[in-house]
């Protein structure tokens, strides 16, 4: 059994860059939905329509904004009036969505990232929400792209790498909305993720996940796993977030595929 280094506690992306990335993704979603059918299905979020996706992400943005500005120490909920989704006027949805994104970026930009506050992950500080909203918005931007134009756009390699890190770091804390995670365990089985496009980069491009009796651990260890997934950092991020299937072009699955199927089943929403 290899000795694994601790998983990273916080991402390395600087706040101004994160805010620019969130702003760009909000603008992309706004443009996509302006002329789109609100009833269009979102295949990457089974059972959702485009209107449901926009409502969800807009609500999350407003909820995160309230947390970052009020700094509650326990979970809060917003009223329907505070959320304000225009259910009866889809034509108003793009501006409603854009306004929520602007408020989020403004709140995060003016916040003390080290201030303690409620977070559903391990890092109980505002910086949790900066990182979470980067990846929440990026993945749902991908959902909107898949629904409206049929293909996912680019992910900056640094964002893709941090997305995988954040997914693995937060996964044990998602039991409230990912109940199958409670049953995710093993007896030392290993899964290796390998990004094929980061040679010569300072970014880590490998992840080793080890299933244990009470959960899992992970690191950026360079160790062969019983099962492996190879692809670009973007495609690995989309795969681990269940945005592309195992058979997607450019992905290569190796070794014990039932182990990968088990992982996917237990980590799906």
pLDDT digits (tens, 9 = 90+) for 22-64: 999 999 999 999 999 999 999 999 999 999 999 999 999 999 9
Q: Which pLDDT belongs to residue 3? A: 32
At residue 117 the predicted structure's pLDDT band, cuts being 50, 70 and 90, is very high
Residue by residue, DSSP assigns 111-154 as S-TT-B---SSS--BHHHHHHHHHHHHHHHHHHHHHHHTSS---
Q: Please say if the pLDDT value at position 128 is more than 80.
A: yes
Q: Which pLDDT belongs to residue 269? A: 84
Give, in order, the Cα–Cα distances in Å from 91 to each of 50, 85, 100, 114, 165: 13, 12, 16, 38, 37
CA dihedral 108, 111, 116, 120 (to 10 degrees): -10
Q: Please say if the pLDDT value at position 9 is more than 50.
A: no
Structure tokens that stand for 46 in this block: 């089974």
- Measured distance CA(97)–CA(137) in Å, rounded: 12
At residue 6 the predicted structure's pLDDT band, cuts being 50, 70 and 90, is very low
Q: Which pLDDT belongs to residue 11? A: 53
- Measured distance CA(186)–CA(218) in Å, rounded: 13
Q: Please say if the pLDDT value at position 2 is more than 80.
A: no
- Domains in the chain, CATH or no CATH each: 15-153 (1.20.120.450), 159-267 (3.30.1050.10)
Neighbouring-strand partners of residue 103: none
Neighbouring-strand partners of residue 253: 229
How does pLDDT run across 204-229, given as a tens digit for each residue? 999 999 999 999 999 999 999 999 99
How does pLDDT run across 143-179, given as a tens digit for each residue? 999 999 999 999 999 999 999 999 999 999 999 899 9
Mean pLDDT rounded to a whole number for the chain:
95
- Measured distance CA(103)–CA(60) in Å, rounded: 12
Alpha helices in 4-125 (DSSP H): 15-34, 50-70, 80-83, 93-109
Q: Please say if the pLDDT value at position 238 is more than 80.
A: yes
Q: Please say if the pLDDT value at position 12 is more than 80.
A: no
CA dihedral 216, 219, 222, 224 (to 10 degrees): 10
H or E element that contains 254: strand 252-255
């Amino acid at each position: 059994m290899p000795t694994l280094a601790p998983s990273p506690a916080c991402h390395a992306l600087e706040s101004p860059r994160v805010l620019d990335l969130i702003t760009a993704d909000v603008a992309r979603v706004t443009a996509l939905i302006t002329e789109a059918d609100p009833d269009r299905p979102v295949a990457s979020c089974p059972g959702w329509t485009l209107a449901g996706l926009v409502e969800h992400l807009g609500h999350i943005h407003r909820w995160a904004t309230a947390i970052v500005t009020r700094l509650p120490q326990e979970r809060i909920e917003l009223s329907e009036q505070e959320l304000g989704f225009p259910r009866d006027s889809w034509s108003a949805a793009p501006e409603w969505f854009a306004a929520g994104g602007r408020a989020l970026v403004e709140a995060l930009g003016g916040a003390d990232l080290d201030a303690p506050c409620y977070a559903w992950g391990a890092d109980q500080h505002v910086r949790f929400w900066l990182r979470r909203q980067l990846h929440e918005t990026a993945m749902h931007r991908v959902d909107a792209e898949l629904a409206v134009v049929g293909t996912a756009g680019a992910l900056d390699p640094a964002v893709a790498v941090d997305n995988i890190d954040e997914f693995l770091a937060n996964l044990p804390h998602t039991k409230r909305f990912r109940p199958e995670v409670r049953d995710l365990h093993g007896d030392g089985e290993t899964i290796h993720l390998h990004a094929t496009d980061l040679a010569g980069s300072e970014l880590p491009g490998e992840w080793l996940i080890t299933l244990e009796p009470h959960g899992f651990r992970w690191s950026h260890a360079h160790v062969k796993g019983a099962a492996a997934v190879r692809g670009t950092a973007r495609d690995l991020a989309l795969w681990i977030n269940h945005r592309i299937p195992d058979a997607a072009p450019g992905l290569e699955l190796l070794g014990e595929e039932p182990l990968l199927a088990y992982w996917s089943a237990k980590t799906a929403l």
